[in-house]
Amino acid sequence: MKKYLIVCALALTLLLTACGGEQAAADTAEEAVKDHYYQILDADGRELYTVTDETAVAEIDALINDAGGENAAHGGAEGEPLYTYVYWQETTIRAGEDPDAEREYMEVFRTQVRADSNAVTTEVLSDTLENVGDAISVEGLGGLLTFSAEVSQETADALRDPAQFAGA
């Protein structure tokens, strides 16, 4: 799924650059390297862990990247989620803001893994899509990007063991 986000970000960068939006394109390029972390929720939506360790975050990134492969299909998978990985990312620095000031984080997407299948669902959150829509003057993008994919047994098993990321 993250591969799709990167492709969308690159396409947006090209579009904004072609339309004379060099600053907006630079801002979009910066989005790709913003600090982020994961919040891991249980099946009832209660927080289990907040993962900020760079190594653990990179491991989760790699697992979630596996979920965005060739077999991704639009829509959610069947079954109740066992765990949800919530991706939080730094907000954009606005004109006039101190770049060294503490930044806020916004929830960008959620990835769910199930107990009874290797299906993983990733949903780009409506607010994130609406912010993108505002930037490119397109309305109604909210709820558009929900994808599910079958991942390898190894990837699904790793996502079903969130405790491994908590101690890092």
pLDDT of residue 100: 74
Can you give the pTM of this predicted structure? 0.69
pLDDT of residue 34: 76
Vertex 110, ends 104 and 115: CA angle to 5°?
140
Hey, is 73 helix, strand or coil? strand
Tell me the pLDDT tens digit for each residue of 28-58.
444 445 789 999 999 999 999 999 999 999 9
Query: In a structure prediction context, what are the per-residue pLDDT tens digits for the chain, which is 168 residues long?
Result: 444 444 344 334 433 333 344 444 444 444 445 789 999 999 999 999 999 999 999 999 999 987 766 566 655 667 889 999 999 998 877 777 777 777 788 888 899 999 999 999 988 876 555 555 445 545 554 445 788 888 999 999 999 999 999 875
Answer for the pair 73, 147: CB distance below 8 angstroms, yes or no: yes
